[in-house]
Amino acid sequence: MFKRGDIHLAKLYPSKGDEVGKTRPVLIIQTDMLNSIEHTTIITLPLTTQLIDDSYPLRFRLPKREKLQQTSEVLCDQIRAITTDRLKSQKLASITKEEMLHVEEQIQIVLGI
């Protein structure tokens, strides 16, 4: 089962235009209520290791941890629903509740809600 706040590898290709592609880590932001019923799609945010300073609210920086071997940024403006088949089952890392609150705040700014 996938869990909100976990980071997994996902195959994000093919992509179009400025969409993020290739196989890369993604942060699961979908509610665990849907994750627990094995919903066939999952809402994610991709991560990148190409760091950009002063990129709030578009990016949230995460230090390396567990199997996430490099400092990365969560791309808060690249919300993407993908099929769970695109995800690798092995979890790379998890973010803290405090970090999730920051990500949620940035998503709200990006979406204007």
What pLDDT digit, counting tens, does each position of 48-95 carry?
Answer: 999 999 999 999 999 999 999 999 999 999 999 999 999 988 899 999
Is 95 within 8 Å of 44 (Cβ atoms)? no
Q: What is the band of 19 on the pLDDT scale with cuts at 50, 70, 90?
A: low
Instruction: Please report which helix (H) or strand (E) contains residue 102, including its range.
Output: helix 97-111
Is the separation of the CB atoms in 76 and 110 below 8 Å? yes
pLDDT surpasses 80 at 17: no
Provide the pLDDT for residue 22: 87
Domain architecture of the chain: domains with CATH: 6-111 (2.30.30.110)
- Give the whole-angstrom CA distance, residue 35 versus residue 4: 8
Q: What is the pTM of this model?
A: 0.93
